[in-house]
Structures are given as C-alpha cells and as structure tokens.
Amino acid sequence: MGSGISLVAAQSGIDCWQIDISAEQLERAKAYHAKTVARAVSKQRMTEEEGTAALARIRYTQSMADGRNAEWAVEAASENVDVKKKIFVAMQSTFSASTVLATNTSSISITDLASAVGADAHRVIGMHFFNPVPVMKLVEVIKGLATSAETTARTMELSKAMGKTPVPANDRAGFVSNRVLMPMINEAFYAWMEGVAEPSDIDEIMKLGCNFPMGPLRLADFIGLDVCHDIMMVLYRELGHPKFFPCPRLRQLVQAGRLGDKSGCGVFEYPVS
C-alpha cells in the first residue's frame, strides 16, 4: 500500500520518499510506479511529461533519515502493533517536531500506537487508504485520544490534495471499514466451509446480488489472507466478540502459505508474474 500512497502523492505534485528496510521491496515499488504511470499515459489520463515528472518526485531509500525534512510521514508496515510502535519511535526521532506522523493501519488503535511517542501523540493520526490506492477514493481518518485539531485539519487537507475523500471515524478497532468488511469476508469462508456453495458461486452471488466489484473471497485474496487474518485477530482481541475470530478455513489457508494474489494462490489460483 505504501507504493500506492507515494504514487498518488507524486501524481498530485507532492515530493516524497519511499522508505523501506528491504531493497527488494523498493525495487518492486519502483517497478509498480513505472508500470502504473505508463498505463495512465497510454490511456491518455496524463501526458508523458506529466508521467515523467510524477516519477521524478519519488525517491527511494532504505534510510529513514533521508526523508528527515518531510512535513508528513505515513507508516504502512505490516499489521503488527510492535512493529508499528518501533517505527513510530524511529519516526519521532527522525522527523521534525512539526511532522505529522500518520499510520495506514487497517485496525489497530491509533491511541495505542500514539502511546509509543509520548508527548508527541498529538501529531499521530490514522490515515487509512484502500487498495488499489490509485483507484479507491476513500481515506478513513481516525483521531486518537490525543490527536490535535491541527493534525486532523492538516490530514483532511492533504487527503483532498491527493484527490481523495477523507471521512472521519472514531478510534475503535477496525474503525468502520474493517469492522463491517471483515465479518462479511469471514462469513463467506464459513459459507464455503459448511458447503453452502462453491467459492466461485459464493462470489458470483455476492457480485451479482449486491453489485460488488469483487466477491468477498476474491477480495480476501486481493487484500491478502494473512492481512485479513491479522485484522480479524485485532477485532477479536479488542472487541471481544467471537464473530470476529477467523474461520478455521481461513486460518488453514494462511498456515499453508496460501496468502492470496501475492503468493499466487489463496482461495483461488493466480498466475505469478
């Protein structure tokens, strides 16, 4: 998601750094940026000059310190509270005292993440993008207990400057999007496990019956089955209701390494490119 966020920022005229500890991930981000811009140019949604200028606005680094002058930092690491807290501590010591420290978390409490940076908690905010970031219009904006009005106003403004529609939600696990989406995905796994219908039929019914662009099982593969599992566990732990506990069929696929599109196989199979 980080590469989608940086691309949208760059296409909106914002200079940015793509920061990752993995050189391989940075290469993948670069390839994704080049491919997506080339497609936009070929579809005449931007000129070649605009595409070249957008790509030139993104710099790639494994060192957070390179981006130290940024006005904005958006953390988009995996959905693990300890990993994210470590990154927030690093962001606090790297960026200036006025940098907004945003997180693209899908489910973890903003107040909890902000506790890692103590007195700087007023600069921490949830800025939840949706995949594919260049296509999806929504940014779910979540204030933590200490998030300042200034941080919120700046985040709403930045989201709009990136061509997105920011919508506020309160700081409860999963916010609105995943609190509603994940139980639907989980229920689709139960329907499959209990033999209500084949996976492709479950998806076809939900696509045609509810006008969804993708069925819930296809969407789960697209999001990543491990990501869905981790989000459900956050919901289960924080909200305490068994309905959020991941279905055994989902757990089994994750244990088998069938993670969805990214591993070439999840509920469905995908050619690995």
Active site residues: 106, 128, 140, 178
* 166 and 172 Cβ atoms separated by less than 8 Å: no
Pick 92 or 106: Cβ nearer ligand CAA: 106
Token pair in block for residue 205:
């019914």
Stretch that binds ligand CAA, among 109-117, 126-134, 161-169, 257-265 (CB under 6 A): 126-134
Stretch that binds ligand CAA, among 16-24, 108-116, 124-132, 262-270 (CB under 6 A): 124-132
223 binds ligand CAA, rule: CB under 6 A:
yes
Site string for ligand CAA, 127-166 (x = CB under 6 A): ---xxx-xxx------------------------------
184 binds ligand CAA, rule: CB under 6 A:
no
Q: Which of 219, 232, 235, 259 binds ligand CAA (CB under 6 A)?
A: 219
Smallest distance, Å, CB 257 to ligand CAA? 20
For 69, other C-beta atoms within 10 Å of its C-beta total 10
Smallest distance, Å, CB 127 to ligand CAA? 12
C-alpha distances out from residue 268 to 136, 202, 205, 208, 255, Å: 23, 12, 16, 19, 16
* 125 and 147 Cβ atoms separated by less than 8 Å: yes
For 115, other C-beta atoms within 10 Å of its C-beta total 16
178 binds ligand CAA, rule: CB under 6 A:
yes
Q: What is the spatial distance between Cα 186 and Cα 216, in angstroms, rounded to a whole number?
A: 9
102 binds ligand CAA, rule: CB under 6 A:
no
Beta bridge partners of 139: 166
Residue with tokens 């981006």: 67
For 1, other C-beta atoms within 10 Å of its C-beta total 17
Q: What is the spatial distance between Cα 77 and Cα 184, in angstroms, rounded to a whole number?
A: 24
Smallest distance, Å, CB 145 to ligand CAA? 22
Q: Which residues bind ligand CAA (CB under 6 A)?
A: 36, 39, 43, 106, 130-132, 134-136, 178, 213-214, 219, 223
